Structure 1
Amino acid sequence: PTLVVGLSLSRLTPLPPDFSGLSLGEPLLFQFISWLIFGSVPEGLSVNLHPMGFAAWFGLLATALNLFPIGQLDGGHLTYAVFGKRSTFITLCMLCITALLTFWSRSWVVWAILLAVMLVVFGPRHPPTLDEDLPLDRSRQIVGLMALVILVLCFTPIPIEPFELIKNP
Protein backbone atom coordinates (compact mmCIF):
# COMPACT_ATOMS: atom_id res chain seq x y z
CA PRO A 1 0.00 0.00 0.00
CA THR A 2 2.83 2.45 0.76
CA LEU A 3 4.24 2.11 -2.76
CA VAL A 4 0.83 2.68 -4.37
CA VAL A 5 0.02 5.68 -2.16
CA GLY A 6 3.54 7.09 -2.45
CA LEU A 7 3.54 6.91 -6.24
CA SER A 8 -0.02 8.27 -6.39
CA LEU A 9 1.15 11.32 -4.44
CA SER A 10 4.18 11.74 -6.72
CA ARG A 11 4.11 13.99 -9.77
CA LEU A 12 5.56 14.01 -13.26
CA THR A 13 7.85 17.00 -13.65
CA PRO A 14 9.93 18.25 -16.59
CA LEU A 15 13.68 17.79 -16.29
CA PRO A 16 15.72 21.01 -16.52
CA PRO A 17 17.80 21.23 -19.73
CA ASP A 18 21.15 20.63 -17.99
CA PHE A 19 19.99 18.38 -15.16
CA SER A 20 22.45 16.25 -13.23
CA GLY A 21 21.85 14.34 -10.03
CA LEU A 22 21.19 10.85 -8.75
CA SER A 23 18.79 8.43 -10.34
CA LEU A 24 17.13 5.69 -8.31
CA GLY A 25 17.02 2.25 -9.87
CA GLU A 26 13.52 0.92 -10.31
CA PRO A 27 12.71 -2.62 -9.20
CA LEU A 28 10.17 -4.52 -11.31
CA LEU A 29 7.40 -3.97 -8.75
CA PHE A 30 8.14 -0.23 -8.68
CA GLN A 31 8.11 -0.07 -12.50
CA PHE A 32 4.80 -1.92 -12.69
CA ILE A 33 3.00 0.25 -10.12
CA SER A 34 4.49 3.39 -11.70
CA TRP A 35 3.20 2.27 -15.11
CA LEU A 36 -0.28 1.64 -13.65
CA ILE A 37 -0.35 5.16 -12.21
CA PHE A 38 1.49 7.21 -14.86
CA GLY A 39 1.55 5.02 -17.96
CA SER A 40 4.69 5.41 -20.07
CA VAL A 41 6.60 8.44 -18.83
CA PRO A 42 7.34 10.70 -21.82
CA GLU A 43 10.90 11.71 -22.72
CA GLY A 44 12.01 14.78 -20.76
CA LEU A 45 9.74 14.06 -17.79
CA SER A 46 10.61 12.35 -14.55
CA VAL A 47 8.63 11.01 -11.61
CA ASN A 48 9.28 13.40 -8.73
CA LEU A 49 8.87 11.00 -5.81
CA HIS A 50 6.75 11.99 -2.85
CA PRO A 51 8.55 11.19 0.46
CA MET A 52 6.19 8.24 0.95
CA GLY A 53 7.18 6.95 -2.50
CA PHE A 54 10.85 7.27 -1.56
CA ALA A 55 10.19 5.38 1.68
CA ALA A 56 8.52 2.62 -0.34
CA TRP A 57 11.47 2.53 -2.77
CA PHE A 58 13.85 2.18 0.18
CA GLY A 59 11.60 -0.56 1.62
CA LEU A 60 11.95 -2.49 -1.65
CA LEU A 61 15.74 -2.10 -1.48
CA ALA A 62 15.81 -3.29 2.15
CA THR A 63 13.54 -6.24 1.31
CA ALA A 64 15.81 -7.30 -1.56
CA LEU A 65 18.87 -7.02 0.66
CA ASN A 66 17.18 -9.04 3.41
CA LEU A 67 16.38 -11.83 0.95
CA PHE A 68 20.00 -12.35 -0.13
CA PRO A 69 21.32 -15.74 1.02
CA ILE A 70 23.60 -14.54 3.82
CA GLY A 71 23.78 -16.03 7.33
CA GLN A 72 21.02 -14.73 9.61
CA LEU A 73 19.20 -12.66 6.99
CA ASP A 74 15.81 -14.06 5.94
CA GLY A 75 17.38 -15.13 2.64
CA GLY A 76 20.03 -17.01 4.62
CA HIS A 77 17.36 -18.84 6.61
CA LEU A 78 15.43 -19.71 3.45
CA THR A 79 18.53 -20.87 1.58
CA TYR A 80 19.60 -23.02 4.53
CA ALA A 81 16.11 -24.52 4.82
CA VAL A 82 16.09 -25.46 1.13
CA PHE A 83 19.77 -26.39 0.54
CA GLY A 84 21.09 -27.25 4.00
CA LYS A 85 24.85 -26.97 4.49
CA ARG A 86 25.30 -26.22 0.78
CA SER A 87 23.89 -22.77 1.52
CA THR A 88 27.37 -21.54 2.55
CA PHE A 89 28.65 -22.38 -0.94
CA ILE A 90 25.68 -20.55 -2.47
CA THR A 91 26.41 -17.49 -0.29
CA LEU A 92 30.06 -17.38 -1.33
CA CYS A 93 29.21 -17.92 -5.02
CA MET A 94 26.67 -15.10 -4.90
CA LEU A 95 29.23 -12.77 -3.34
CA CYS A 96 31.89 -13.72 -5.93
CA ILE A 97 29.44 -13.18 -8.80
CA THR A 98 28.50 -9.78 -7.40
CA ALA A 99 32.18 -8.84 -7.04
CA LEU A 100 32.85 -9.93 -10.64
CA LEU A 101 29.88 -7.89 -11.87
CA THR A 102 31.59 -4.75 -10.50
CA PHE A 103 34.17 -5.16 -13.30
CA TRP A 104 31.35 -5.23 -15.86
CA SER A 105 29.54 -2.21 -14.45
CA ARG A 106 30.54 0.09 -11.60
CA SER A 107 26.89 0.28 -10.59
CA TRP A 108 27.26 -3.16 -8.97
CA VAL A 109 29.70 -1.65 -6.45
CA VAL A 110 26.75 -0.56 -4.29
CA TRP A 111 25.50 -4.15 -4.01
CA ALA A 112 29.02 -5.52 -3.52
CA ILE A 113 29.62 -3.14 -0.62
CA LEU A 114 26.22 -3.83 0.97
CA LEU A 115 26.68 -7.59 0.66
CA ALA A 116 30.27 -7.49 1.95
CA VAL A 117 29.12 -5.55 5.02
CA MET A 118 26.32 -8.07 5.59
CA LEU A 119 28.76 -10.94 5.19
CA VAL A 120 31.09 -9.41 7.79
CA VAL A 121 28.22 -8.70 10.21
CA PHE A 122 26.32 -11.99 9.82
CA GLY A 123 28.98 -14.36 8.46
CA PRO A 124 28.55 -16.77 5.55
CA ARG A 125 27.33 -19.72 7.60
CA HIS A 126 23.92 -20.44 9.01
CA PRO A 127 23.79 -22.13 12.43
CA PRO A 128 22.58 -25.74 12.42
CA THR A 129 18.92 -26.52 13.06
CA LEU A 130 17.51 -29.03 15.54
CA ASP A 131 16.76 -31.59 12.82
CA GLU A 132 19.04 -31.18 9.81
CA ASP A 133 17.57 -34.15 7.93
CA LEU A 134 13.90 -33.13 8.07
CA PRO A 135 12.80 -32.45 4.47
CA LEU A 136 10.64 -29.45 3.60
CA ASP A 137 6.99 -30.18 2.95
CA ARG A 138 5.24 -28.82 -0.14
CA SER A 139 3.88 -25.68 1.56
CA ARG A 140 7.34 -24.68 2.80
CA GLN A 141 8.81 -25.24 -0.65
CA ILE A 142 6.14 -22.89 -2.01
CA VAL A 143 7.11 -20.29 0.63
CA GLY A 144 10.72 -20.55 -0.56
CA LEU A 145 9.63 -20.05 -4.17
CA MET A 146 7.46 -17.07 -3.18
CA ALA A 147 10.46 -15.51 -1.42
CA LEU A 148 12.47 -15.88 -4.63
CA VAL A 149 9.69 -14.16 -6.58
CA ILE A 150 9.63 -11.33 -4.02
CA LEU A 151 13.42 -10.94 -4.36
CA VAL A 152 13.09 -10.67 -8.15
CA LEU A 153 10.28 -8.09 -7.83
CA CYS A 154 12.17 -5.97 -5.27
CA PHE A 155 15.71 -6.18 -6.69
CA THR A 156 17.28 -3.52 -8.87
CA PRO A 157 20.77 -4.07 -10.27
CA ILE A 158 21.53 -0.35 -10.07
CA PRO A 159 20.07 1.06 -6.82
CA ILE A 160 21.60 4.53 -7.18
CA GLU A 161 23.27 5.93 -10.26
CA PRO A 162 24.63 9.35 -11.24
CA PHE A 163 22.40 10.89 -13.90
CA GLU A 164 23.23 13.64 -16.33
CA LEU A 165 20.91 14.93 -19.00
CA ILE A 166 22.97 15.91 -22.01
CA LYS A 167 21.19 18.43 -24.16
CA ASN A 168 21.49 17.80 -27.89
CA PRO A 169 22.87 20.90 -29.68
Structure 2
Amino acid sequence: MSPNTRTLLLQLSLFVLTLITTTLAGAEWMFGNSFVLVEKALGWDEFWQGLHFSIPFLFILTVHEFGHYFTAKAHQVEVTLPYYIPLWFGISQSIGTMGAFIRIKSLVRSRLKFFDIGIAGPLAGFVAALGVLWYGFTHLPPPEYIFSIHPEYQQYGLNYPEFVYQNQEGALILGDSLLFYWFKMYVADPALLPHANEIIHYPYILAGYIALFFTSLNLIPIGQLDGGHILYGLIGKKKFDIAAPALFILFAFYSGLGLFRAEEFAIPDESEFYSLLGYLAFYIYFLYVCLRKISDNPRNAWIIALSIVVLQFGVSYIYPTWEGYPGFLPFIFLLGRFLGVYHPETIENEPLSKGRILLGWLAVLVFILCFSPKPFIIIV
Protein backbone atom coordinates (compact mmCIF):
# COMPACT_ATOMS: atom_id res chain seq x y z
CA MET A 1 0.00 0.00 0.00
CA SER A 2 1.44 3.36 -1.01
CA PRO A 3 1.89 6.23 1.48
CA ASN A 4 -0.75 8.26 -0.38
CA THR A 5 -3.28 5.42 -0.06
CA ARG A 6 -2.55 5.04 3.66
CA THR A 7 -3.00 8.78 4.17
CA LEU A 8 -6.28 8.75 2.26
CA LEU A 9 -7.55 5.81 4.31
CA LEU A 10 -6.60 7.64 7.51
CA GLN A 11 -8.44 10.76 6.41
CA LEU A 12 -11.50 8.77 5.41
CA SER A 13 -11.46 6.83 8.69
CA LEU A 14 -11.21 10.05 10.69
CA PHE A 15 -14.15 11.49 8.76
CA VAL A 16 -16.31 8.41 9.45
CA LEU A 17 -15.34 8.46 13.14
CA THR A 18 -16.15 12.17 13.32
CA LEU A 19 -19.51 11.56 11.68
CA ILE A 20 -20.24 8.97 14.38
CA THR A 21 -19.03 11.12 17.30
CA THR A 22 -20.89 14.24 16.12
CA THR A 23 -24.03 12.14 15.67
CA LEU A 24 -23.66 10.86 19.23
CA ALA A 25 -23.10 14.39 20.49
CA GLY A 26 -26.00 15.78 18.46
CA ALA A 27 -28.40 13.21 19.92
CA GLU A 28 -27.22 14.05 23.43
CA TRP A 29 -27.91 17.75 22.85
CA MET A 30 -31.29 17.04 21.26
CA PHE A 31 -32.56 14.78 24.03
CA GLY A 32 -30.65 16.21 27.00
CA ASN A 33 -29.42 12.74 27.87
CA SER A 34 -26.41 10.47 27.38
CA PHE A 35 -25.63 7.15 25.76
CA VAL A 36 -23.75 5.97 28.85
CA LEU A 37 -23.76 6.25 32.63
CA VAL A 38 -27.47 6.97 33.03
CA GLU A 39 -30.43 4.80 33.99
CA LYS A 40 -32.27 5.42 30.72
CA ALA A 41 -29.45 5.73 28.22
CA LEU A 42 -30.15 6.83 24.68
CA GLY A 43 -30.44 4.11 22.05
CA TRP A 44 -30.34 3.57 18.31
CA ASP A 45 -33.50 5.56 17.61
CA GLU A 46 -31.98 8.63 19.24
CA PHE A 47 -28.64 8.00 17.53
CA TRP A 48 -30.20 8.24 14.08
CA GLN A 49 -31.94 11.47 15.14
CA GLY A 50 -28.48 12.85 15.92
CA LEU A 51 -27.79 12.96 12.17
CA HIS A 52 -29.96 16.09 12.10
CA PHE A 53 -27.05 17.76 13.90
CA SER A 54 -24.01 15.98 12.54
CA ILE A 55 -24.83 16.27 8.83
CA PRO A 56 -25.41 20.06 8.73
CA PHE A 57 -22.52 20.68 11.12
CA LEU A 58 -20.04 18.57 9.14
CA PHE A 59 -21.38 20.10 5.94
CA ILE A 60 -20.40 23.57 7.18
CA LEU A 61 -17.04 22.34 8.47
CA THR A 62 -16.30 20.57 5.18
CA VAL A 63 -17.25 23.61 3.08
CA HIS A 64 -14.89 25.69 5.24
CA GLU A 65 -11.95 23.30 4.84
CA PHE A 66 -12.45 22.82 1.11
CA GLY A 67 -12.58 26.58 0.70
CA HIS A 68 -8.98 26.56 1.93
CA TYR A 69 -8.13 23.45 -0.07
CA PHE A 70 -9.33 24.56 -3.51
CA THR A 71 -7.88 28.06 -3.10
CA ALA A 72 -4.51 26.58 -2.16
CA LYS A 73 -4.67 24.30 -5.19
CA ALA A 74 -5.52 27.27 -7.41
CA HIS A 75 -2.34 28.95 -6.15
CA GLN A 76 -0.34 25.74 -6.73
CA VAL A 77 0.31 25.37 -3.02
CA GLU A 78 0.70 21.74 -1.98
CA VAL A 79 -1.93 20.83 0.63
CA THR A 80 -3.56 17.71 2.03
CA LEU A 81 -7.21 16.83 2.12
CA PRO A 82 -8.87 17.63 5.47
CA TYR A 83 -8.05 15.70 8.62
CA TYR A 84 -11.14 15.55 10.85
CA ILE A 85 -10.66 15.27 14.61
CA PRO A 86 -13.26 13.13 16.42
CA LEU A 87 -13.85 13.81 20.10
CA TRP A 88 -16.68 12.43 22.20
CA PHE A 89 -16.61 12.34 25.98
CA GLY A 90 -19.53 10.02 26.67
CA ILE A 91 -19.90 11.14 30.29
CA SER A 92 -20.41 14.84 29.45
CA GLN A 93 -21.73 16.75 26.49
CA SER A 94 -19.46 17.77 23.62
CA ILE A 95 -19.92 18.63 19.96
CA GLY A 96 -18.24 15.41 18.89
CA THR A 97 -15.20 16.95 17.24
CA MET A 98 -12.32 19.37 17.61
CA GLY A 99 -12.80 20.50 14.03
CA ALA A 100 -10.68 19.71 11.00
CA PHE A 101 -7.53 21.00 9.37
CA ILE A 102 -5.57 20.76 6.15
CA ARG A 103 -1.77 20.63 6.12
CA ILE A 104 0.11 23.04 3.90
CA LYS A 105 3.06 20.98 2.68
CA SER A 106 4.92 23.66 0.72
CA LEU A 107 6.31 27.00 1.82
CA VAL A 108 3.94 29.92 1.20
CA ARG A 109 6.14 32.86 0.24
CA SER A 110 3.42 35.26 -0.85
CA ARG A 111 1.37 37.63 1.29
CA LEU A 112 -1.34 37.51 -1.39
CA LYS A 113 -1.52 33.69 -1.28
CA PHE A 114 -1.75 33.70 2.52
CA PHE A 115 -4.62 36.16 2.23
CA ASP A 116 -6.51 34.17 -0.39
CA ILE A 117 -6.10 30.82 1.37
CA GLY A 118 -6.95 32.33 4.75
CA ILE A 119 -10.11 34.13 3.67
CA ALA A 120 -11.61 31.41 1.47
CA GLY A 121 -12.42 29.00 4.32
CA PRO A 122 -14.35 31.26 6.71
CA LEU A 123 -16.28 33.02 3.95
CA ALA A 124 -17.30 29.70 2.38
CA GLY A 125 -18.21 28.23 5.77
CA PHE A 126 -20.12 31.38 6.69
CA VAL A 127 -22.32 31.08 3.60
CA ALA A 128 -22.99 27.42 4.44
CA ALA A 129 -23.84 28.34 8.05
CA LEU A 130 -26.29 30.99 6.83
CA GLY A 131 -28.09 28.32 4.80
CA VAL A 132 -28.28 25.93 7.76
CA LEU A 133 -29.53 28.65 10.12
CA TRP A 134 -32.09 29.85 7.60
CA TYR A 135 -33.41 26.31 7.26
CA GLY A 136 -33.42 25.79 11.04
CA PHE A 137 -35.30 29.00 11.81
CA THR A 138 -37.81 28.62 8.95
CA HIS A 139 -38.59 24.97 9.69
CA LEU A 140 -39.24 25.11 13.41
CA PRO A 141 -41.45 22.31 14.71
CA PRO A 142 -44.67 23.03 16.65
CA PRO A 143 -44.19 24.26 20.24
CA GLU A 144 -45.33 20.84 21.49
CA TYR A 145 -42.04 19.39 20.16
CA ILE A 146 -40.42 20.28 23.45
CA PHE A 147 -42.67 17.73 25.22
CA SER A 148 -40.95 14.91 23.31
CA ILE A 149 -37.70 15.98 24.96
CA HIS A 150 -39.10 17.03 28.35
CA PRO A 151 -42.27 15.00 28.91
CA GLU A 152 -42.34 16.34 32.47
CA TYR A 153 -43.20 19.79 31.04
CA GLN A 154 -46.46 18.55 29.54
CA GLN A 155 -48.34 18.85 32.83
CA TYR A 156 -47.93 22.62 32.60
CA GLY A 157 -48.94 22.94 28.95
CA LEU A 158 -47.35 25.61 26.76
CA ASN A 159 -47.01 27.88 29.79
CA TYR A 160 -44.25 25.60 31.13
CA PRO A 161 -41.59 28.39 31.26
CA GLU A 162 -43.52 30.02 34.12
CA PHE A 163 -43.08 26.89 36.22
CA VAL A 164 -39.95 24.96 35.23
CA TYR A 165 -37.29 27.68 35.04
CA GLN A 166 -37.64 29.14 38.52
CA ASN A 167 -35.00 26.86 40.05
CA GLN A 168 -33.40 25.39 36.93
CA GLU A 169 -29.66 25.51 37.56
CA GLY A 170 -27.12 24.32 35.02
CA ALA A 171 -29.23 25.23 31.97
CA LEU A 172 -27.18 26.30 28.94
CA ILE A 173 -28.20 29.38 26.95
CA LEU A 174 -26.65 30.38 23.62
CA GLY A 175 -25.50 33.99 23.84
CA ASP A 176 -26.60 36.21 20.99
CA SER A 177 -24.34 37.43 18.25
CA LEU A 178 -25.72 40.18 16.01
CA LEU A 179 -26.53 37.66 13.30
CA PHE A 180 -28.10 35.07 15.61
CA TYR A 181 -30.24 37.79 17.19
CA TRP A 182 -31.38 38.88 13.73
CA PHE A 183 -32.43 35.34 12.85
CA LYS A 184 -34.43 35.03 16.07
CA MET A 185 -36.12 38.41 15.69
CA TYR A 186 -36.75 38.65 11.95
CA VAL A 187 -36.63 35.16 10.43
CA ALA A 188 -38.18 32.82 13.00
CA ASP A 189 -41.94 32.63 13.52
CA PRO A 190 -42.39 34.09 17.05
CA ALA A 191 -45.13 31.53 17.75
CA LEU A 192 -42.70 28.67 17.08
CA LEU A 193 -39.45 30.12 18.46
CA PRO A 194 -38.34 28.01 21.45
CA HIS A 195 -37.47 29.44 24.83
CA ALA A 196 -33.81 30.42 25.20
CA ASN A 197 -33.27 27.56 27.66
CA GLU A 198 -34.47 25.00 25.09
CA ILE A 199 -32.92 26.18 21.82
CA ILE A 200 -29.98 23.78 22.28
CA HIS A 201 -32.40 20.92 21.53
CA TYR A 202 -32.98 22.18 17.97
CA PRO A 203 -30.21 20.52 15.95
CA TYR A 204 -30.06 22.74 12.85
CA ILE A 205 -30.03 25.90 14.93
CA LEU A 206 -27.38 24.46 17.27
CA ALA A 207 -25.23 23.36 14.32
CA GLY A 208 -25.46 26.80 12.71
CA TYR A 209 -24.76 28.60 15.98
CA ILE A 210 -21.66 26.54 16.76
CA ALA A 211 -20.46 27.16 13.19
CA LEU A 212 -20.85 30.92 13.72
CA PHE A 213 -18.97 30.63 17.01
CA PHE A 214 -16.01 28.84 15.44
CA THR A 215 -16.08 31.18 12.44
CA SER A 216 -15.75 34.15 14.79
CA LEU A 217 -12.84 32.52 16.66
CA ASN A 218 -11.16 31.69 13.36
CA LEU A 219 -11.51 35.28 12.17
CA ILE A 220 -9.86 36.83 15.23
CA PRO A 221 -7.02 38.78 13.56
CA ILE A 222 -4.17 37.23 15.52
CA GLY A 223 -1.29 34.94 14.57
CA GLN A 224 -1.93 32.23 12.01
CA LEU A 225 -5.66 32.07 12.50
CA ASP A 226 -7.56 32.76 9.29
CA GLY A 227 -8.21 36.26 10.60
CA GLY A 228 -4.47 36.67 11.13
CA HIS A 229 -3.77 35.73 7.50
CA ILE A 230 -6.41 38.23 6.38
CA LEU A 231 -5.19 41.14 8.51
CA TYR A 232 -1.57 40.40 7.58
CA GLY A 233 -2.56 40.59 3.92
CA LEU A 234 -4.45 43.84 4.45
CA ILE A 235 -1.87 45.81 6.45
CA GLY A 236 1.49 44.04 6.05
CA LYS A 237 3.94 42.71 8.63
CA LYS A 238 5.09 45.99 10.20
CA LYS A 239 1.59 47.11 11.18
CA PHE A 240 0.47 43.57 11.93
CA ASP A 241 3.25 43.13 14.50
CA ILE A 242 1.77 46.10 16.37
CA ALA A 243 -1.93 45.31 15.90
CA ALA A 244 -1.87 41.57 16.66
CA PRO A 245 -0.27 41.70 20.15
CA ALA A 246 -2.42 44.73 21.03
CA LEU A 247 -5.57 42.81 20.06
CA PHE A 248 -4.34 39.74 21.93
CA ILE A 249 -3.79 41.78 25.11
CA LEU A 250 -7.25 43.36 24.72
CA PHE A 251 -8.79 39.90 24.24
CA ALA A 252 -7.07 38.63 27.40
CA PHE A 253 -8.20 41.73 29.32
CA TYR A 254 -11.84 41.24 28.30
CA SER A 255 -11.86 37.51 29.01
CA GLY A 256 -10.74 37.85 32.62
CA LEU A 257 -12.66 41.04 33.42
CA GLY A 258 -14.62 40.57 36.64
CA LEU A 259 -12.94 37.27 37.49
CA PHE A 260 -11.43 38.95 40.57
CA ARG A 261 -12.84 42.01 42.35
CA ALA A 262 -11.30 44.15 45.08
CA GLU A 263 -14.26 43.69 47.44
CA GLU A 264 -13.79 39.90 47.35
CA PHE A 265 -10.54 40.30 49.28
CA ALA A 266 -12.20 42.25 52.10
CA ILE A 267 -13.11 39.09 54.05
CA PRO A 268 -12.42 38.36 57.73
CA ASP A 269 -11.66 34.67 57.16
CA GLU A 270 -7.86 34.52 56.89
CA SER A 271 -7.71 31.08 55.25
CA GLU A 272 -10.24 32.13 52.62
CA PHE A 273 -8.27 35.32 51.98
CA TYR A 274 -5.02 33.44 51.36
CA SER A 275 -6.83 30.91 49.21
CA LEU A 276 -8.21 33.72 47.04
CA LEU A 277 -4.75 35.29 46.94
CA GLY A 278 -3.36 31.96 45.69
CA TYR A 279 -5.93 31.85 42.89
CA LEU A 280 -4.99 35.39 41.92
CA ALA A 281 -1.28 34.50 41.84
CA PHE A 282 -2.05 31.51 39.62
CA TYR A 283 -4.13 33.75 37.31
CA ILE A 284 -1.26 36.23 36.99
CA TYR A 285 1.14 33.40 36.18
CA PHE A 286 -1.37 32.03 33.65
CA LEU A 287 -1.43 35.41 31.90
CA TYR A 288 2.37 35.50 31.94
CA VAL A 289 2.52 32.09 30.23
CA CYS A 290 0.04 33.27 27.60
CA LEU A 291 1.96 36.50 26.99
CA ARG A 292 5.49 35.08 27.20
CA LYS A 293 6.02 34.86 23.43
CA ILE A 294 4.94 38.42 22.73
CA SER A 295 8.39 39.73 23.65
CA ASP A 296 11.91 38.33 23.79
CA ASN A 297 12.23 39.78 27.29
CA PRO A 298 10.29 37.79 29.95
CA ARG A 299 10.07 40.92 32.10
CA ASN A 300 7.77 42.53 29.55
CA ALA A 301 5.34 39.61 29.81
CA TRP A 302 5.25 40.00 33.60
CA ILE A 303 4.65 43.75 33.29
CA ILE A 304 1.82 43.28 30.80
CA ALA A 305 0.23 40.50 32.88
CA LEU A 306 0.31 42.62 36.05
CA SER A 307 -0.97 45.66 34.13
CA ILE A 308 -3.93 43.64 32.81
CA VAL A 309 -4.85 42.50 36.32
CA VAL A 310 -4.56 46.02 37.78
CA LEU A 311 -6.76 47.42 35.00
CA GLN A 312 -9.28 44.61 35.49
CA PHE A 313 -9.48 45.43 39.20
CA GLY A 314 -9.89 49.13 38.39
CA VAL A 315 -12.61 48.66 35.78
CA SER A 316 -14.49 46.17 37.98
CA TYR A 317 -14.38 48.67 40.87
CA ILE A 318 -15.71 51.57 38.76
CA TYR A 319 -18.16 49.49 36.71
CA PRO A 320 -19.13 46.53 38.93
CA THR A 321 -21.65 45.15 36.41
CA TRP A 322 -19.06 44.82 33.62
CA GLU A 323 -17.94 41.26 33.14
CA GLY A 324 -15.90 39.45 30.53
CA TYR A 325 -16.12 35.81 29.53
CA PRO A 326 -13.63 33.48 31.26
CA GLY A 327 -14.60 30.74 28.81
CA PHE A 328 -12.25 32.39 26.30
CA LEU A 329 -9.22 31.91 28.55
CA PRO A 330 -8.36 28.37 27.32
CA PHE A 331 -8.37 29.71 23.76
CA ILE A 332 -6.09 32.56 24.81
CA PHE A 333 -3.70 29.97 26.28
CA LEU A 334 -3.80 28.00 23.02
CA LEU A 335 -3.10 31.15 21.01
CA GLY A 336 -0.37 32.54 23.21
CA ARG A 337 1.44 29.30 23.96
CA PHE A 338 1.07 27.21 20.80
CA LEU A 339 -0.48 28.94 17.78
CA GLY A 340 1.40 32.20 18.28
CA VAL A 341 0.43 35.85 18.11
CA TYR A 342 2.66 36.92 15.23
CA HIS A 343 2.51 35.94 11.56
CA PRO A 344 5.44 34.44 9.65
CA GLU A 345 7.07 36.95 7.34
CA THR A 346 6.58 36.51 3.61
CA ILE A 347 9.18 37.10 0.93
CA GLU A 348 6.72 38.33 -1.69
CA ASN A 349 4.75 41.30 -0.39
CA GLU A 350 2.77 42.40 -3.42
CA PRO A 351 -0.11 44.79 -2.61
CA LEU A 352 -3.65 43.44 -2.61
CA SER A 353 -6.09 44.40 -5.34
CA LYS A 354 -9.13 46.54 -4.52
CA GLY A 355 -11.32 43.46 -4.78
CA ARG A 356 -9.24 41.58 -2.21
CA ILE A 357 -9.21 44.58 0.11
CA LEU A 358 -13.00 44.71 -0.11
CA LEU A 359 -13.19 40.99 0.67
CA GLY A 360 -10.85 41.51 3.62
CA TRP A 361 -13.10 44.13 5.18
CA LEU A 362 -16.09 41.91 4.41
CA ALA A 363 -14.41 39.22 6.52
CA VAL A 364 -14.06 41.78 9.34
CA LEU A 365 -17.80 42.44 9.04
CA VAL A 366 -18.49 38.69 9.17
CA PHE A 367 -16.43 38.50 12.37
CA ILE A 368 -18.47 41.32 13.93
CA LEU A 369 -21.76 39.67 12.92
CA CYS A 370 -20.74 36.20 14.20
CA PHE A 371 -18.93 37.13 17.42
CA SER A 372 -20.81 36.69 20.68
CA PRO A 373 -19.24 38.34 23.75
CA LYS A 374 -20.70 35.56 25.92
CA PRO A 375 -21.37 32.61 23.62
CA PHE A 376 -22.34 29.92 26.15
CA ILE A 377 -24.08 31.01 29.35
CA ILE A 378 -24.72 28.53 32.17
CA ILE A 379 -27.50 29.43 34.62
CA VAL A 380 -26.24 29.19 38.18
Matched letter for residue 244 of structure 2: T
Match of 1:27 in 2: 177
Of all paired residues, the percent bearing the same amino acid is 27
Amino acid at match of 1:9: L
Which of these residues, 87, 96, 102, is aligned with residue 240 of structure 2?
87
- Structure 1 residues 37-52: aligned runs within 5 Å: 37-39=188-190, 45-46=195-196, 48-49=199-200, 50-52=202-204
Amino acid across the alignment from 1:103: L
| Number of aligned residues | 162
Q: Deviations over 1:61-88 (max 9, x none)?
A: 0000000112221101011111212213
For residue 351 of structure 2, what is the amino acid of its counterpart?
Answer: P
What is the SS of the residue equivalent to 1:128? coil
**Gap runs ≥5 in structure 1:** 165-169
Q: Quick one: structure 1 residues 11 and 136, their matched pair in 2 at CA, closer, same or farther if it must change by over 3 Å?
A: farther
Q: Which has the higher contact order (CA 8 A, sep 6+)?
A: 1
Alignment of 1:110-121 (within 5 A): 110-121=327-338
Task: Provide the secondary structure at the position in 2 that maps to 1:129.
Answer: coil
1:44-63 CA distance string (max 9 Å, x none): 94353411211111100000
Q: Which residue of 1 aligns with 2:167?
A: 18
The code of the aligned residue for 1:59 comes to A
The Cα of 1:146 is off from its aligned counterpart by: 0.3
Alpha-carbon distance change, 22 to 140 in structure 1, aligned in 2, over 3 angstroms: same
The correspondence of residues 51-70 of structure 1 with structure 2, limited to 5 A, is: 51-70=203-222
Q: Which moved more, 1:89-98 or 1:151-160?
A: 89-98
CA contact (8 A) 2:257 2:323 kept: yes
**2:134 aligned residue:** 4
Report the TM-score, using the length of structure 2 for normalisation: 0.39
How far apart are the structure 1 equivalents of 2:206 and 2:344? 35
C-alpha offsets along residues 31-56 of structure 1, whole Å, 9 cap, x if unaligned?
A: 111212134999x9435341121111
Cα pair 2:221 2:227 within 8 Å, conserved:
yes
CA distance in 1, matches of 2:348, 2:203: 45
Moved more, 14-23 or 44-53: 44-53
More deviation in 116-125 or 66-75? 116-125
Aligned equivalents of 1:123, 1:52: Cα separation in 2: 33
Deviation at 1:111, TM superposition (A): 2.2
- What is the distance in 2 between the residues matched to 1:88 and 1:115? 17
Aligned residues: CA RMSD: 2.5
Establish whether residue 103 from structure 1 lines up as the match of residue 271 from structure 2. no
Bigger CA radius of gyration: 2
Q: Is the 8 A contact 2:218 2:225 kept in 1?
A: yes
Amino acid at match of 2:232: Y
Distance 1:28 1:52 in 2: 18
Aligned with 1:23: secondary structure? strand
Give the whole-Å Cα distance in 2 for the aligned partners of 1:75 and 1:40.
38
